[in-house]
Chain A
């Protein structure tokens, strides 16, 4: 029998699809619980992915293109913090149970501001001009790839290619029941990501500018016809996406046990970031958060059976499975 749109929507197929989704959800939960330590790690990794993925999805929502430079913007955030911690801010011993000192608490907002400025500059000097010339999507994507390579080249020119390290003091992990061991830094990472996610939620739902961002993402022409300055909204969106990327870059470094960074640290995360965006539903920041958690946990739990080098493949496999059942992603809207 040929599979047509009609048979795809038949009640029997819909029922079978729901059963399959329920089975997959149960399998996912069972696997995560069987490797609870890895799953907890996955949630921490998901926190960082979430900050990056939310930024990508926000930009996609108003610009309708996937910013390939987002990973390298995260790298830039990490290197700005590295510069501050090594060359500007005073040396300091570890803060409480963490491997870093209080200067990192200053470096994070400064990195956020620096990458936000970089992102706004990218729009003003590159993407706005492309929009004015009505460049097609391929041109805009290639431009973002060019910016990604330029950012990485700039970082390599200034800080060279070897692995660098944030100031790091070795710390004991917290031991919990069920053989769960948590690095204190990981708690900081997830706490910081949660604070930023809540701040973003409040911005999007409680402020005039945040609502204008959502309105522009929904329908840019109608937003303009309502008197919303969509160029200004785009700048806000780039700024927020950049700030989140800056924070994600710094958190990505301290997520690592030795706090190491290299010029490809953000670019290497681009595949799981895009997977998280697509899984959550392109353009939906809440979906991106959920997708990031799903991808983060899947990637970490998979290391119980597969080599860590397969993590990006796992991320895309999860994405394909989700899209088979929910083509618009977990929280994607129609159209």
Chain B
């Protein structure tokens, strides 16, 4: 059974529909990447799944439960956590407080989970009392991911996790994504660095004008000349 199963999802902002019936699936333990040109609806799809944007039609099932009509804060406890592309930390809260907010719904082992996050991200441990707004781009991305992992999600949604990072830091973030996936967490990500993202993904989707144009395994999509010509900048 898929962990996430979205069918015919329509969503948008106000009267403007961005997604025109998107089907998407993530199986347990998978890394799935969504690529596509600007304005294709990649981020809107992520927000519809997590509930920040309400789907106007279609069904979204997560872990056997239908969720498209649920409020965002009701979907999170099911095991769904989201890291937005920008503004993905609480800037006036310290790193520790950010992690506490990430674990807001935890009833037990909050301190223990925070320690685990500090073990996983030692850079954050050194700055635990620093306000998140004062972190560098890379540290902020780590912070955002650590915050999302506080609830031990089954599916982690990452929107452009390497945006604005140096090539060196990009490599670190992709390695971190693989490490997190190795612990059993499924990952659905939107990524502009499509070649690298697809190379570590089990499957991928190509979105254009609010519709799925292609679906295949990550390496197949990365090597597809049509995808390369249209979305990866290959000649």
A residues whose Cβ falls under 8 Å from a Cβ of B? 134, 208, 211-212, 214-215, 217-219, 221-230, 333-334
Contact = CB atoms under 8 A, between A and B. Distances in A.
Contact of B52 (A217, A218, A221, A228): A221
Interface string B80-98: 0110100111111100010
Contacts of A221: 52, 84, 87
B77 interface: yes
B209 interface: no
A334 to B, nearest CB: 8
Contacts of A215: 90, 93, 97, 101
Interface string B100-142: 1110110000000000000000000000000001000000000
Of the listed residues B100, B104, B147, the one surrounded by the most CB atoms of chain A closer than 10 A to its CB is: B104
Given A227-B77, A228-B101, A222 B87 contact: yes
A225 B101 contact: no
Nearest to B105: A227
Of the listed residues A217, A221, A227, A333, the one surrounded by the most CB atoms of chain B closer than 10 A to its CB is: A227
State the main secondary structure of chain A at its contact with B.
helix
Contacts of A134: 14
Given A226-B102, A228-B104, A214 B76 contact: no
Contact of B104 (A212, A214, A218): A212
A229 B73 contact: yes
Interface residues of B, number: 28
Contacts of A211: 93, 97, 100-101
Contacts of B77: 227
A214 B92 contact: yes
A208 B71 CA distance: 21
B84 A222 contact: yes
Contact of B73 (A208, A217, A219, A224): A224
B208 interface: no
A222 B86 CA distance: 10
A293 to B, nearest CB: 21
A225 B100 contact: no
B92 A333 contact: yes
14 contacts: A211-B97, A214-B93, A215-B90, A215-B101, A219-B87, A221-B87, A222-B90, A223-B101, A224-B52, A225-B72, A230-B73, A333-B91, A333-B92, A334-B133
Contact of A225 (B50, B91, B93, B133): B50
A272 B105 CA distance: 40
B151 interface: yes
A224 B100 contact: no
A225 B52 contact: yes
B210 interface: no
A284 to B, nearest CB: 8
B104 A225 contact: no
A219 B76 contact: no
Contact of A208 (B52, B93, B104): B104
A61 to B, nearest CB: 10
A187 to B, nearest CB: 33
Contacts of A214: 90, 92-93, 97
Nearest to A333: B92
Nearest to B81: A225
B41 interface: no
Contacts of A225: 50-52, 72, 76, 81-82, 84
Contact of B51 (A208, A212, A222, A224): A224
A333 B14 CA distance: 30
Given A214-B90, A333-B91, A227 B104 contact: yes
B91 A227 contact: no
B89 to A, nearest CB: 8
A214 B133 CA distance: 13
Nearest to A211: B97
- Nearest 9 Cβ contacts at the A-B interface: A227-B76, A227-B105, A224-B72, A218-B90, A225-B82, A215-B101, A215-B90, A229-B73, A227-B73
A218 B84 contact: no
A230 B91 CA distance: 18
Nearest to A221: B52
